Chain A
Amino acid sequence: MKTIPILSPEFAQRRAVRLAASHPEIWDLLDGVYDPELPGLTIWDLGVLQDVRMVDGVCEVDITLTYSGCPAVDAMTKDIKKVLNDAGYEKVNVKVVLTPAWSTAMMSPEGKAHLKQINIAPPSEKDEICCPQCESSKVHVISQFGSTACKALYQCNDCHETFDYFKHF
């Protein structure tokens, strides 16, 4: 199924924050930090990277939790520190913020396209889920939770591929 890509208000707002950023070079560096469980998906594209500030020589990075118990946060925090330390920012403070609460609407269109490439059906507001392999919309749920809290397990009725669906949240 082909859809016309439109920006969600939540993503548009994040993009506005990034475009107006005082330290765009730090945001660019953070494009080198990925979700440990979703290969190749950056924390920007996932929507958890919220803000970056320099305060008294300390680089402060705000990220949101996807799911409250998601263990990926600890890995992402470590990776953010490493990337920034390696680039010469010695003092880095990663803050996990609860507001705004993360939602899949914060994901970038590139992020959603990337999910499809790695065989994960991207989140759909109306739960119109398509098989990432053959694009059929005839699919059924196997389990409401997949390999991680953010995904559900589906199967395509046409090509029989079993795939993860990144839950709309």
Chain B
Amino acid sequence: MNEQQTNLYRFLIALADDSIVLSHRLSEWCSNAPYLEEDLALSNVALDYLGRARMFYQYAAEVEGKGRTEDDLAYHRNEREYTNLLIHELPINDFAFTMLRQFYLDVFYVKYLQKLSLSQDKMIAAIAQKAIKESRYHLKRSEPWIIQLAQGTEESLNRILVAKEELNDFIGELFDMSEWEKSLAENGISVDRESIKAEWQAYVQGFFAQSDIELDSVELRVHGGREGIHTEHLGHMLSEMQYLQRAYPGNEW
């Protein structure tokens, strides 16, 4: 791979890792959600992210050209080789935390994928065009939940506020650009994340205002995901997610 291809490969892996890690977290709600319909909904959102991850992994494997498959990339890379942004890997915590993270990410992805769907790379553009429709729908679902929780009881509001506090330090990384991502953005392949920060803030702030909640300033605080430096949570998650393929390599459904 030349430098451009190496950058493209890293980019695809990063986006795939973001998706699969969040997908796995959401799937942890399966059979544990507050009620059956919510159980199904969260599992379906997880499924959308899994599909997204598969498309990016398949393309990454093709770009790499070493004969690795999507499964090899998902199940046979270690924690330090995973390059997802940290917000995706945080444990599901309570329902308010899960939904607030989802709302933040839904707003982010609707804006991010919109720009990514104009990528000069046709495959990336096609994946983004597919995924954005799903993210728009996810947002339609997470917004009413934030209103319901924030304007519900003292307890539900309090949980939203605690979740907001916990997530605060991890938002900045969504808008951080690594050197290789910048180089791809200059060639019209990736998106300048910094350019959507103001839009994201304005949207979330505007939405929060309905419930008299304030969004704290968004700055780069905890980071390292793109370099493979993770919170203590990812290793535990991967050990569960990868267990079967590690114990029985190549096993198929």
> Which B-chain residue is minimally distant from A69 (CB atoms)?
B51
B51→A65 contact, CB < 8 A = yes
B37→A101 contact, CB < 8 A = no
User: Cα distance A69–B123 when bound, in Å?
Assistant: 17
- The listed residue (A70, A71, A101, A146) touching B129 by CB distance below 8 A is A101
A67→B126 contact, CB < 8 A = no
- The listed residue (A69, A98, A147, A153) touching B127 by CB distance below 8 A is A98
**What residues of A have a CB within 8 angstroms of the CB of B129 in the complex?**
98-99, 101
> Which B-chain residue is minimally distant from A64 (CB atoms)?
B130
- The listed residue (B37, B50, B126) touching A69 by CB distance below 8 A is B50
**What residues of B have a CB within 8 angstroms of the CB of A98 in the complex?**
55, 123, 126-127, 129-130
A65→B130 contact, CB < 8 A = yes
**What residues of A have a CB within 8 angstroms of the CB of B38 in the complex?**
143
B47→A153 contact, CB < 8 A = no
A112 within 8 A of B: no
User: Cα distance A134–B95 when bound, in Å?
Assistant: 36
A67→B48 contact, CB < 8 A = yes
B184 within 8 A of A: no
B141→A149 contact, CB < 8 A = no
B41 within 8 A of A: yes
Q: Which of A68, A71, A153, A169 has the most CB of B within 10 A?
A: A68
> Which B-chain residue is minimally distant from A74 (CB atoms)?
B253
Q: For residue B63, give the distance in angstroms from its CB to the closest CB of chain A.
A: 16
B37→A70 contact, CB < 8 A = no
User: Cα distance A148–B48 when bound, in Å?
Assistant: 11
Instruction: Bin the interface of chain A by size.
Output: 20 to 34
A142 within 8 A of B: yes
Number of B interface residues in the complex (CB < 8 A): 28
Q: For residue B119, give the distance in angstroms from its CB to the closest CB of chain A.
A: 13
User: Cα distance A86–B55 when bound, in Å?
Assistant: 31
B37→A143 contact, CB < 8 A = yes
A144 within 8 A of B: yes
**What residues of B have a CB within 8 angstroms of the CB of A71 in the complex?**
47
B37→A68 contact, CB < 8 A = no
**What residues of A have a CB within 8 angstroms of the CB of B47 in the complex?**
67, 69-71, 149
A142→B37 contact, CB < 8 A = yes
Q: For residue B12, give the distance in angstroms from its CB to the closest CB of chain A.
A: 14
- The listed residue (B41, B122, B123, B134) touching A68 by CB distance below 8 A is B134
**What residues of B have a CB within 8 angstroms of the CB of A167 in the complex?**
137
Contact residues, B41-96 vs A (CB, 8 A): 41, 43-52, 54-55
Contact residues, A13-51 vs B (CB, 8 A): none
Q: A101-B129, A143-B40 are in contact. Are A68 and B141 (CB under 8 A)?
A: no
User: Cα distance A145–B137 when bound, in Å?
Assistant: 10
**What residues of A have a CB within 8 angstroms of the CB of B50 in the complex?**
69
User: Cα distance A71–B54 when bound, in Å?
Assistant: 12
**What residues of A have a CB within 8 angstroms of the CB of B55 in the complex?**
68, 98
Q: For residue B20, give the distance in angstroms from its CB to the closest CB of chain A.
A: 11
B48→A68 contact, CB < 8 A = yes
Q: A98-B130, A101-B130, A145-B41 are in contact. Are A68 and B51 (CB under 8 A)?
A: yes
B131 within 8 A of A: yes
A69→B52 contact, CB < 8 A = yes
> Which B-chain residue is minimally distant from A73 (CB atoms)?
B51
Q: Please give the residue numbers on chain A whose beta carbons come within 8 Å of chain B beta carbons, in ascending order.
A: 65, 67-71, 98-99, 101, 103, 142-149, 153, 167, 169
Task: Provide 19 A-B residue pairs closer than 8 Å at the C-beta atoms, listed in order of the A residue.
Answer: A65-B51, A65-B130, A67-B47, A68-B54, A68-B127, A68-B130, A68-B131, A69-B47, A69-B54, A98-B55, A99-B122, A101-B126, A101-B129, A145-B37, A145-B43, A145-B44, A145-B141, A149-B48, A169-B133
Q: Which 10 A-B pairs have the closest CB atoms?
A: A68-B51, A69-B51, A143-B37, A69-B47, A98-B126, A145-B41, A145-B44, A69-B50, A144-B141, A149-B44
